[in-house]
Structure 1
Amino acid sequence: MGYEIRGGRFEGRSLVVGGGEVFDRIDGGAEFQDCELKIVPTPRQRMNFEAQFSDCDVRATKPLSDGRFDDTRFERCRFKGQYKGCEFGPKFSGSKGSVRDCDFSEARLILSQFFDCSIDSQTWPDWPHIHLIFSEDLSWTEKLQDGDLPHVLSILLRLPRSTEVTQRSVVSIHLPSIGVDPEAAWPLLQDIPEIWFPSKANKPRQTAGLVTEAMTVARANAERREVSVRRLAIFHALHRAWIRSVHRLSFDLIELVVDCSFLKDRVSDAPGVLRVRLLEGTVHLRSSDDVREVDGALDRFMVMGAAEEDNLVVLKPHRKERGQILLSFRSSALVDEQGHPMEETAFLDVVRRYYGYD
């Protein structure tokens, strides 16, 4: 049986949360002083305790994702471990949580957010962490949304911010953990006062030439990402569709016959069969011990994902033993079941309507 603590005061205790067969419950304004809190993340364990932890050591024994602590109060606590997508402090009006004078310098924070919090109210982990300072005035984010920041940061700044959410906050990001090369990004970050880390003032600034070079690289990366997104879009849209067969129509044209009749369950004008034609294409099936070219019928291959790998598009199946389909091509085109050309945007619209996005 797990903990069920309702109120009370505890000093010098060691508490393990999440390690049992059932979830642990701590509420009723329980107070913990000079205690050790070990968090063992499990899907069943709710983290938002209605309690206060003062002068405690808090450690996630393995990466904690999406932990919500908006009703939990932390004061002068020391944090260790990895916290990804976690939220601390009062996210909404009426939330009871807070985080004050805590030490996160030995923690790894990956896109974690601290509400009603200022930079000078905690001890933060240093570079290659960065900390984004949000307030009621978001004009700085609007100026940077279409700039030359790393892609992940640009997306973060574009996210809508609900007026129901506490506006003052800090978002902490360990750059390598989100795929950003810190030193390559530094020239783009050095002049943005709202992007901070403890040693920023002492970090050598890059010259105008290096800043320009970094901006050029960032733009080239953005263009490559855009090409990749367009190239993969149609294959992402084939999620849950069956590839029935592959045929070579001519020396430089290959056709995939795709059964997407499930779309008709919700979208009456959806095509039951879609033909994906690949110019200068090849199609191979990769299994655990073999790679062979495909020409003819395929045995029950449902598309469950798509990714790029060394200029190939890799289609991932619903069952691992089916192998992976490797596509190489210069361009693609769609043909409906009547043999008429179909615009990619028209098919993407069908998929959006199926999933209720329109």
Structure 2
Amino acid sequence: MDWLGNVVFKDREIENERLELTDKNANYILGPNLTLKNCTLVLKAASRRLSIDRAQFVDCAFEVKQELKNYQDWIGASLKGCRFKGRLTGCDFGHWPEYSSLPWCQLGSIEDCDFTEARLDGCRIMGCDPATLRFPKWPCFTILDPIGRARELNSVEWPGGFRPIIVEGQYRDPPRTMAVTFYAPSLARRRETTEEAFRAVIEQFDCIVY
């Protein structure tokens, strides 16, 4: 750690190591020009203290020990064959160059990754094929091709006034949104309804994995 509290991993390749990013006072910076292969990364840091900048992760395991909220830096990562455990909320993965003109978000990608042991809520896959990914099962549910199926998805009444995808207006979902995963218990609580009410609607669609 330097005098600013930064722990920087860049300009190298690391293989078969366990990295514990757990110091609450540290700023962890992964990249640029960093490749990790067959590594385990233990994450227990707030979103504002974790930065990913053009890093490559191959066959790595991410153990998220503290809920990672509203974290977009995953789009600065190339993720292949990785596994995720823990709680992730409002995170975006994949290729989304329109997010920023900065170099770090121009090369993001995700493929062959496994989220089955993670709890995802409001997490999106951007600009990449979700068919190569494994998503968590119920009480999580994943909407595939939400932009393409928006009219169909919004044609039914969802519990609590929920709209699974927004394609117009200031808060519309980006065109690159290829999949979005929600966690039914949290969604039901926010909408003051029940998980069962959501499941009754979800079961009507073949584009939803649960």
Q: Structures share a fold, TM > 0.5?
A: yes
* Counterpart residue identity of residue 142, structure 1: R
Q: Deviations over 1:236-290 (max 9, x none)?
A: xxxxxxxxxxxxxxxxxxxxxxxxxxxxxxxxxxxxxxxxxxxxxxxxxxxxxxx
Gaps of 5+ in 2: 99-104
Alignment of 1:148 with 2:157, yes or no, is yes
Partner of 1:118: 129
Distance 1:15 1:49, change over 3 A: farther
Return the match for 2:119 from 85, 103, 108: 108
Distance 1:161 1:41, change over 3 A: farther
Partner of 2:141: 130
Partner of 1:174: 183
Q: Deviations over 1:112-142 (max 9, x none)?
A: 11112334211111112111123663xx323
Taking structure 2 as the reference length, the TM-score comes to: 0.81
CA distance in 2, matches of 1:161, 1:40: 36
Which of structures 1 and 2 has the larger relative contact order (alpha carbons within 8 angstroms, sep 6+)? 2
CA distance in 2, matches of 1:4, 1:193: 44
Q: Deviation of residue 143 (structure 1)?
A: 4.1
Alignment of 1:183 with 2:196, yes or no, is yes
* Counterpart residue identity of residue 82, structure 2: C
Distance 1:141 1:166, change over 3 A: closer
CA distance in 2, matches of 1:152, 1:107: 27
Q: SS in structure 2 opposite 1:177? A: helix
Q: SS in structure 2 opposite 1:157? A: coil
CA distance in 1, matches of 2:109, 2:46: 23
CA distance in 1, matches of 2:21, 2:86: 14
CA distance in 1, matches of 2:45, 2:135: 23
CA distance in 1, matches of 2:91, 2:131: 20
Partner of 1:10: 14
CA distance in 1, matches of 2:22, 2:49: 6
Partner of 2:49: 45
Q: Deviation of residue 161 (structure 1)?
A: 7.6
Mapped contact 2:165–2:173 kept (Cα < 8 A): no
Gaps of 5+ in 1: 198-358
Alignment of 1:29 with 2:40, yes or no, is no
Mapped contact 1:65–1:83 kept (Cα < 8 A): yes
